[in-house]
C-alpha cells in the first residue's frame, strides 16, 4: 500500500497464539491493516503449516504480514519470553480449547494482571451457555446452526464451499477487538472479548429465522427455495457456458426488456410488478432460457453489463488467479509458499482512499523472526544464541546475528 504511509492500525501490537483458520484469520486482518502481529508458534512450527488436502491453503492464506516467534512455551525461559512480549502488547488472540491457555499460564486473568490495558480475544466454538465447554469446528456449527441444511438439498445437508464460519467468526473477533480498543481510549483498561463459531452461524442464518417469523412458514433449503424474483437463475449461453442473471427490481426489468427486445413482456401490464412477474415465472423463464441459449457468452455478458443487470459467470476458485478485475488494482497479493513457489492470493477486501492494504511481510518461516523479537525485548546476542542452543527458541543463527 505504497500510497498510504501509515496504515490504520500501525503501532498496535498483537500477540497471536493461534492455529487453523479462525484465529489466524483474525490476526491476518489486523496484520493487513497495519498492526504488528507476532505469531507465537510451537517449537516445531504451527501444525497448520503441514496440513494437506482441503487444509493445504490455510497457512498460506491467513499468515502474511506477521512475524513468527517459535519457542517452547512449556520451558521457564520460553514462558518468560512470551510473557515479556505480552506485557508490551495491546492485543492477544487465542483459539485453543477451553482451559488450554490457563494451564500454560496465559489465560486472561494472569495476563491482564500483568498488563491491565490488554485486549484479550478468545475465539471459541460457543459463547457462554450450556455448550461452552464443547470443542467445535466450522463444519460442526454449520450443521448445528442450520447453514448446512439451508445450503444442501432437503435430504442432504451440505457445508458451504469455504470455511465461511471460521473466517466470519474471525471477522467478528476483529470487530470486538477494535471496539474494545476504542473503549480503552475512554477507560484506560482492556477487557476479555470472545467470538464463536456457533453464534456466528446463528447470526448468518438469522435472515431465515426472520423469514419464518415474518411468513409463518419454515424456509426450505436455498437449493429448492421459492424465488423472490422472476429472473434469478442460472442460464446457458450458445456455447453451453453457465451464467447467473438476477433481475431484482421494476427498473431492472424494464432495462432488461429493452436491451433484449422483449417487447411482448414489456407490453404486458401484468408483469409491471415483481409479484406479477414471480407468478408468471413459468412462462417467462423458458423464453429467456431459449433467448440466452442463442447468444454467444461474450455478447450476452456485454449486453447484460450495458443494461446494468446483475450477472455472473459460474467460476471456479482457479479462475480468480487470472481475473482481470482482481489483477488490475491490488486485489491479489503475491506471497512465497513453503516450497518457494510464488502464489497470488486475495488481498483484504477493503480500500482506504482508493488503495488496498498490501504485503509488508511475506509468509514467515517457522521461527523466522525469533531473534528479531527477542532482540526487541532487550536480549543480547549471547542470550539469544544460548536459548537456541538449549532448544527454547527456534531461529536461524544467521538471522540472530544480523540486523
Q: What is the pLDDT of residues 329-338, one digit of tens each?
A: 899 999 999 9
Please report the pLDDT score of residue 358 as a whole number. 95
As a whole number, mean pLDDT of residues 60-85 equals 97
Please report the pLDDT score of residue 398 as a whole number. 43
CATH code for the part of the protein at 227-316: 3.30.1540.10
Q: What does the buried/exposed string (b/e) look like for 356-380 if buried means 16 or more CB atoms within 10 Å of the residue's CB?
A: bbbbebbbbbbbbbbbbbbbeeebe
3-class DSSP state for residue 60? helix
- Measured CA to CA, the distance from residue 365 to residue 62 in angstroms comes to 14
CB 321, CB 334: distance < 8 Å: no
Q: Which residue has the higher pLDDT, 225 or 210?
A: 210
The answer, yes or no, to whether residue 401 has pLDDT greater than 90, is no
Query: What residues have CB less than 8 Å from 289, skipping those under 6 apart?
Result: 235, 236
Residue given cell 423464453 in the structure block: 287
pTM: 0.94
As a whole number, mean pLDDT of residues 85-113 equals 96
- Confidence bin at 1 (pLDDT 50/70/90): very low
Please report the pLDDT score of residue 397 as a whole number. 52
- Tens of pLDDT along 309-321? 999 999 999 999 9
- Tens of pLDDT along 6-45? 899 999 999 999 999 999 999 999 999 999 999 999 989 9
The answer, yes or no, to whether residue 402 has pLDDT greater than 70, is no
Long-range residue pairs from 326-332, CB within 8 A, at least 24 positions apart, any chain = 329/356, 330/1, 330/355, 330/356, 330/358, 331/356
- Confidence bin at 46 (pLDDT 50/70/90): very high
What rounded mean pLDDT belongs to the chain?
Answer: 95
Query: What residues have CB less than 8 Å from 98, skipping those under 6 apart?
Result: 124, 132, 133
Please report the pLDDT score of residue 5 as a whole number. 67
The answer, yes or no, to whether residue 128 has pLDDT greater than 80, is yes
As a whole number, mean pLDDT of residues 241-251 equals 98
DSSP state of 46: -
% of residues, the chain, pLDDT over 90? 94
DSSP bridge partners of 236:
242
- Confidence bin at 304 (pLDDT 50/70/90): very high
Please report the pLDDT score of residue 113 as a whole number. 97
Instruction: Report domain extents, the chain.
Output: 13-204+329-401, 227-316
Please report the pLDDT score of residue 152 as a whole number. 97
Please report the pLDDT score of residue 226 as a whole number. 86
- Tens of pLDDT along 331-385? 999 999 999 999 999 999 999 999 999 999 999 999 999 999 999 999 999 999 9
SS (HEC) of 119-150: EEEEEECCCCCCCCCCCCCHHHHHHHCCHHHH
Per DSSP (E only), the strands in 139-201 are: 192-196
Please report the pLDDT score of residue 396 as a whole number. 67
DSSP bridge partners of 71:
393
CATH superfamily to which 13-204+329-401 belongs = Crotonobetainyl-coa:carnitine coa-transferase; domain 1 (3.40.50.10540)
CB 64, CB 98: distance < 8 Å: no
Amino acid at each position: 500500500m505504497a500510497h498510504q504511509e501509515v496504515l490504520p492500525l500501525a503501532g498496535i501490537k498483537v500477540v497471536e497464539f493461534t492455529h487453523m483458520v479462525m484465529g489466524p484469520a483474525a490476526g491476518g486482518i489486523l496484520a493487513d491493516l497495519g498492526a504488528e502481529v507476532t505469531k507465537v508458534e510451537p517449537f516445531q512450527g504451527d501444525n497448520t503449516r503441514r496440513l494437506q488436502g482441503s487444509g493445504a491453503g490455510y497457512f498460506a492464506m491467513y499468515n502474511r504480514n506477521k512475524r513468527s516467534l517459535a519457542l517452547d512455551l512449556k520451558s521457564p525461559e520460553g514462558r518468560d519470553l512470551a510473557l515479556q512480549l505480552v506485557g508490551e502488547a495491546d492485543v492477544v488472540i487465542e483459539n485453543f480449547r477451553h482451559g488450554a491457555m490457563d494451564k500454560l499460564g496465559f489465560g486472561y486473568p494472569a495476563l491482564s494482571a500483568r498488563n491491565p490495558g490488554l485486549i484479550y480475544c478468545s475465539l471459541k466454538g460457543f459463547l457462554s451457555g450450556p455448550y461452552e465447554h464443547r470443542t467445535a469446528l466450522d463444519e460442526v456449527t454449520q450443521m448445528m446452526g442450520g447453514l448446512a441444511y439451508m445450503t444442501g438439498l432437503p435430504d442432504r445437508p451440505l457445508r458451504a464451499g469455504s470455511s465461511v464460519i471460521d473466517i466470519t467468526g474471525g471477522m467478528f473477533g476483529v470487530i470486538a477487538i477494535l471496539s474494545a480498543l476504542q473503549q480503552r481510549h475512554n477507560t484506560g483498561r482492556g477487557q476479555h472479548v470472545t467470538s464463536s463459531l456457533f453464534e456466528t452461524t446463528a447470526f448468518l442464518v438469522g435472515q431465515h429465522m426472520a423469514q419464518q417469523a415474518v411468513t409463518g412458514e419454515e424456509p426450505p433449503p436455498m437449493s429448492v427455495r421459492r424465488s423472490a424474483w422472476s429472473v434469478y437463475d442460472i442460464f446457458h449461453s450458445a456455447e453451453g457456458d453457465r451464467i447467473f442473471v438476477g433481475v431484482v427490481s421494476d427498473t431492472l426489468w424494464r432495462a432488461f426488456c429493452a436491451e433484449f427486445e422483449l417487447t411482448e413482456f414489456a407490453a404486458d401490464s401484468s408483469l409491471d410488478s415483481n409479484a406479477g412477474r414471480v407468478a408468471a415465472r413459468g412462462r417467462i423463464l423458458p423464453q429467456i432460457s431459449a433467448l440466452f441459449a442463442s447468444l454467444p457468452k461474450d455478447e450476452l455478458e456485454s449486453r447484460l453489463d450495458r443494461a446494468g443487470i446483475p450477472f455472473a459467470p459460474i467460476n471456479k476458485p482457479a479462475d480468480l488467479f487470472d481475473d482481470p478485475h482482481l489483477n488490475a488494482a491490488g486485489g491479489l497479493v503475491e506471497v512465497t509458499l513453503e516450497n518457494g513457489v510464488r502464489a497470488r492470493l486475495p488481498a483484504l477486501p477493503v480500500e482506504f482512499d482508493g488503495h488496498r492494504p498490501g504485503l509488508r511481510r511475506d509468509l514467515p518461516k517457522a521461527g523466522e523472526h525469533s531473534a528479531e523479537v527477542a532482540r526487541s525485548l532487550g536480549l543480547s546476542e549471547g542470550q539469544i544464541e544460548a536459548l537456541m542452543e538449549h532448544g527454547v527458541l527456534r531461529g536461524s543463527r544467521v538471522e540472530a546475528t544480523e540486523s
